[in-house]
Structure 1
Amino acid sequence: MQDSFNRQLMRKEKGKPFTLAVDVGCGSGQSTRGLTSYFEEVVGIDMSEAQIEEAKKMERSDNVSYRQGLAEELGFQDGSVDLVTVGAAAQWFDLEKFMKEIDRVLKPKGCLALYCYTVPCILNFDDCSETLTQIIQDLFTELKPYETIATKRVWNEYRDVFDAIPFPDKARAKDIFITFKKPVSWFIGYLNSSVLFQTYLREKLEDAKAFMENTEQR
């Protein structure tokens, strides 16, 4: 869905040709691979060597490559990039330095697309939606003391990230929704891997374990 939004943005603001797209904070390349049908060259960049190695293992087109690097030092020539995308990673960046780098590398009428998830998410199952909503609210109340600057940016729906964009022509899209089915085990695994819960574990191991077990049972 984000690929569709990116294409619409590019057509409106820039127009063809679509030569070079750069996906910053690419992780294992999930978003990067979605760009390969629309650009002559796509480059995924992530500061994590392990993530780059995972991305390279995936089946990929000849026009995509991955490399380790920093969001604030992209290493492309001035005015050489058509599109820069960042999926659920901008909260970790030094926004001032990143925006200066984007201003340097983008072509005239080039585009920057930043997107992230919103929290809390909405869970539905039969007639249990109200109960599930309460569980999610309790979850984030418990984890709130462990929030960081990065998680605050996400919880605040990227408002300060949007404000940090220096370009006068910018817009927010808040009507992109994704619905999918997952078992409870997947959701618990997702929560366990979150930065907030991992911090909770480090500071209060037994309390954190008991809380997550109770959440799963609920």
Structure 2
Amino acid sequence: MSNGIFKDHFSTQSTSYGRFRPEYPEELFGYLAGLGGRELVWDCACGSGQASRGLARYFSKVVATDGSAEQIANAHGPDNVTFAVALADKCPLEDRIADLVTVAQALHWFDLEAFYREVRRVVRPGGYIAVWSYAVTSVTPEIDDAIEELYNGIIGPYWPPERIHVEEGYKRLAFPFRTVAAPDIAMTVLWDFEQLMGYFGSWSAVARYKQDKGHDPLPLVRDRLLSAWGDPAKVREVSWPLMLRVGQVG
């Protein structure tokens, strides 16, 4: 959502988003649970529920919202997670009830002034907000070079301009809360080759390339990636640095 208009970049690949987006590390949720109260967290722009499921292991209740009905339709989590279609500035929660608000990989889409107003309404005094992003994945230098060809070369023009904020960890976006020091946390998964390709297929720029060109860009780099990967059944460690910003709401 930007300037009051919801930009839905993920509905066309919501199924692959739910299947192939990596799960966040346990270290992240343990840290967030240690900030304060653990009764209720609002996971805003939850997508298919990657962060919601992790939060559910530490908080009594998670209210997970997203502006995309397709994303919510593909979301899943345990019984203490409630999923709902809602824009970032129209949370269904009552006033001053949440211990924490989280935004995973989505802050760059928001009307920040309206969202932060809603955060202050929903969060109890002394509660927290945590936002994070992750940019390009890393595997090995040779594989990373092939990923770079895809990311900045083939589909580079199809990334929305807001993508720069993801790559910068939201450092240039307004964050009008008392800053809390956050740890360095890496997100890692063990994937085979097809899982990596499935992840690339969930990228919004891939969907826009398909719409514009009429064909999938992934085959253009598949052979190079596979040559660098080796046996497609081989499992490799795939990693992303998480860039985390945490603030205390007044």
TM-score range, shorter chain: 0.7 to 0.9
The one-letter code sitting in structure 2 at the alignment partner of 1:208 is P
Partner-residue secondary structure (3-state), 2:189: coil
Q: 1:131 to 1:25 in 2, by over 3 A?
A: same
Between Structure 1 and Structure 2, the one with more helix by share is 1
% identical aligned pairs:
32
Offset of residue 100 of structure 1: 1.7
The one-letter code sitting in structure 2 at the alignment partner of 1:177 is A
1:28-39 equivalences in 2 (<5 Å): 28-39=48-59
Structure 1 gap segments, 5+ residues each:
124-128
The one-letter code sitting in structure 1 at the alignment partner of 2:141 is E
Whether 2:118 is the aligned partner of 1:101: answer yes
Q: Which residue of 1 aligns with 2:169?
A: 157
Whether 2:72 is the aligned partner of 1:52: answer yes
Q: Which residue of 1 aligns with 2:97?
A: 80
Q: Which residue of 1 aligns with 2:46?
A: 26
Alignment RMSD: 2.5
Q: Which residue of 2 aligns with 1:126?
A: none
Between Structure 1 and Structure 2, the one with more strand by share is 2
Question: Number of matched residues?
Answer: 203
1:41-190 equivalences in 2 (<5 Å): 41-55=61-75, 58=76, 60-61=78-79, 63-119=80-136, 121-123=137-139, 129-142=140-153, 143-161=155-173, 164-173=174-183, 175-190=184-199
Q: 1:38 to 1:133 in 2, by over 3 A?
A: closer
Q: 1:2 to 1:92 in 2, by over 3 A?
A: farther
- Runs of 4+ with deviation above 6 angstroms: none
Q: 1:216 to 1:111 in 2, by over 3 A?
A: same
Q: Is the 8 A contact 2:44 2:66 kept in 1?
A: yes
Offset of residue 23 of structure 1: 0.9
Structure 2 gap segments, 5+ residues each:
1-23, 228-250
